[in-house]
Amino acid sequence: MTNRIFKAMLCTLALWASVCGAMQLNSQHAIVVKDGTKEVLYEKDQNAVVPIASLTKLMTAMVVLDSHPDMNAQITIQSEDVDTLKHSRSYVPVGTTLPRREILRLALMSSDNRAAAALARTFPGGHAGFVRAVEEKIRALKMTHTVIKEPTGLSPDNTSTASDLASMAIAASQYPDIVHITTDRSTSITMNGRARVVNNTNKLVGARGWDVLLSKTGFTNEAGRCLIMRIEQAGVRATVVLLNANAASSRTFDALTIRRLLSAPKTSTRVDAVAPRRR
């Protein structure tokens, strides 16, 4: 009996080691944190300070909701909400009026930059009041290596670390509105009398085999492809942060690799990044 148990343990260790050896992520910075214990299951250069693109919008949503605004109040998209830095596209034409609730949905689900800018513009105290609230939230969450200067993430001056962003994601998961919006695969929003289907920028939301509990994607040239998710796999809930992948497909592959990690038998937990083999 003892011999069989020992052999079973060896097999489990071998399987776990094979998973560890496969952890060669494309993302330049990453962290996986187990819910509850906040145990780090995997990390790769987690403390590097880098641009975070639209992951910013989770912070934007939190500080807006913290201000307890009227979510049915009508907000009109103005010319000052237009992105003049990256000239990104938007679902929302200037002059469109929508309830704040739908503006928040557009900012989170489709990562619309005009929507995020409008949320900051209509914040108590305007944009300056919004930035002050963000700074207070960053301090409250002890995100000591994070700077956020504007609500969209378009500016490369919005910077953080994988470790800090895990803290932000865990905090964001306590907001039912954020969870609900970011885990919807698609929705319909009526703009100027016309229904528009808005899709989640994370294709893993609603995909077969994925239980996504929170989600936000990001991309700029400076930040690369970024992703925050809370997922449940094989009974394990974890927060995942992936920063600066070179393509959306690489980011998805990294997420699949991490899902495989969470599915593996857990005789050991912490996995550090493995340097890729030289060819």
Which positions are annotated as active-site residues?
A: 54, 57, 111
Q: Which of 266, 260, 257, 233 is nearest to 13 (CA)?
A: 266
Which residues are CB-contacts of 222 (< 8 A; sequence separation ≥ 6)?
51, 53, 156
One-letter-per-residue 3-state SS of 79-104: HHHCCCCCCCCCCCCCCCEEEHHHHH
Which residues are CB-contacts of 139 (< 8 A; sequence separation ≥ 6)?
none
> Using CA atoms, how far apart are residues 78 and 95, in angstroms rounded to an integer?
6
In DSSP terms, 99 is beta-bridged to 74
Give the CA count within 13 Å in the CB-facing half-sphere of 161. 15
- Residues composing the chain: 279
Phi and psi of 186, rounded to 5°?
Answer: -160, 165
Q: Which of 211, 210, 250, 206 is nearest to 227 (CA)?
A: 250
> Using CA atoms, how far apart are residues 36 and 57, in angstroms rounded to an integer?
24
Other CB atoms within a 10 A radius of the CB of residue 86 amount to 13
Q: How far apart are the first and last CA of the chain?
A: 45
> Using CA atoms, how far apart are residues 36 and 229, in angstroms rounded to an integer?
16
